[in-house]
Amino acid sequence: MLQDIHKQLDEYYSEMVEIRRYLHQYPELSFQETKTAKYIADFYKELGIPYETNVGGNGVIATLKGGKPGKTIALRADFDGLPIQDQKDVPYKSKVDGAMHACGHDGHTASLLILAKTMKAFQEQLPGTIVFLHQHAEEYAPGGAKPIIESGALDHVDAVFGTHLWATTPFGVLQTSKHAFMAGADRFHLTIQGKGGHGGYPHETKDAIVIGSQVVSELQQIVSRRLDPLETAVITIGQFNAGSAFNIIADTAELVGTVRHLNTNVQEQVIQEIEKIIKGVCAGHDVTYDLNYEKGYPPLINNEHEAELVLKASEKVPEIKQAEIVKPVMAGEDFAYYTMEKPGAYFFTGAKIEGQGYPHHHPKFDIEERALPVAAKTLITAYFDFQEQS
């Protein structure tokens, strides 16, 4: 049956691409994906597969109960876009000003929808139940995964699998990990309140730019000098906003940054060190500050058994020529919440366009569309392997 399913997915390839390109032209930002959610729901309505809308927000969950007994397994695809102007010169370029699918979520959605269409035809032969989990708001914390879990919609699920079309990994390559796969991702906002004044009279001021610069420099020493060298963390200041003119000393500086980590002990140590450094630097300059630290997505930790199933599944997908165990990447993913609650695994499906390979979140981001059915084949193969081996 699996070969027949794979063959059917190949036959639906053009429709898969058509869906992906349509969604690519009409992206919606996190927590605003009402039209996309309706498109997904309408697709399941036409298929005659039962579904729920407004799950944990804009989430859509469809359920296909097979004709044979078995486990209940969720297959997840996210569907939000990003606040980036599409700069590609392609017929399916985004028609929404200031928004685009710069991370492949349009492809994830197209793959899962056509997988659902395919599996509907095999429903009577299907062991167990497939939960087609269409998740909103992956790109922006607190994200969509957590409220979907809190809604109880996945309480009955035995396992969950998901994939990301990965634009910097060659087509035909699958990547995953048997443990930590993606980083926890936090965000912090610091406001330093100094005392402004004339650029020619610095002794009468408390220069927020100088103080802020010292904070930036000191924060970089947390990883290099305060953490165990065998632990992993990243501290990045992405925004530094201060000043209004060349001859005015700024009284206020705003710094916005991110912390990436692979375990919660390191996360807590980094938070403590950040607070100590900011407090010390500001006290030394006799200025006040306000620090707002937001814990974001936790690290995505794959379950070893389910990761092994993904690797085994890849051997049955002809297009996959290489399956790799890779080091964790320091991007974040709220799929992490699913594997905290249920057995599961996440993997990358290689989708690099040969000779291109713009990274995720780039204005010219695009994917190799031949990877769409590969993603679907791997997900459904892992589904069957879980039914047989668990």
Q: Which of 28, 33, 86, 138 is catalytic?
A: 138
> Which of 251, 253, 255, 242 has the alpha carbon at shortest distance from 202?
251
Q: Where are the alpha helices (DSSP H) in 222-344?
A: 264-284, 304-314, 336-341
33 is catalytic: no
Tokens of 373: 């059915």
Q: Which of 80, 86, 106, 319 is catalytic?
A: 80
Name the pairing type of β-strands 197-198 and 159-170.
Answer: unpaired
Residue at 390: amino acid letter: S
89 is catalytic: no
* Residue position matching structure tokens 């906003």: 241
Cβ–Cβ under 8 Å, residues 6 and 109:
no
Q: Pseudo-torsion of CA 98, 349, 159, 383, nearest 10°?
A: 130
Residue at 80: amino acid letter: D
3-state secondary structure of 159: strand
Name the pairing type of β-strands 159-170 and 344-352.
Answer: parallel
As a whole number of angstroms, the distance between CA 347 and CA 176 comes to 5
Range 212-245 burial, b when 16+ CB lie within 10 A, else e: bbbbbebbeebbeeebeeeebbebebeebebbee
3-state secondary structure of 386: helix
Phi, psi of 111 (to 5 degrees): -60, -45
Cβ–Cβ under 8 Å, residues 280 and 198:
no
What is the maximal distance between C-alpha atoms in the chain? 82
Residue at 384: amino acid letter: F
The residues assigned a catalytic role are 80, 138
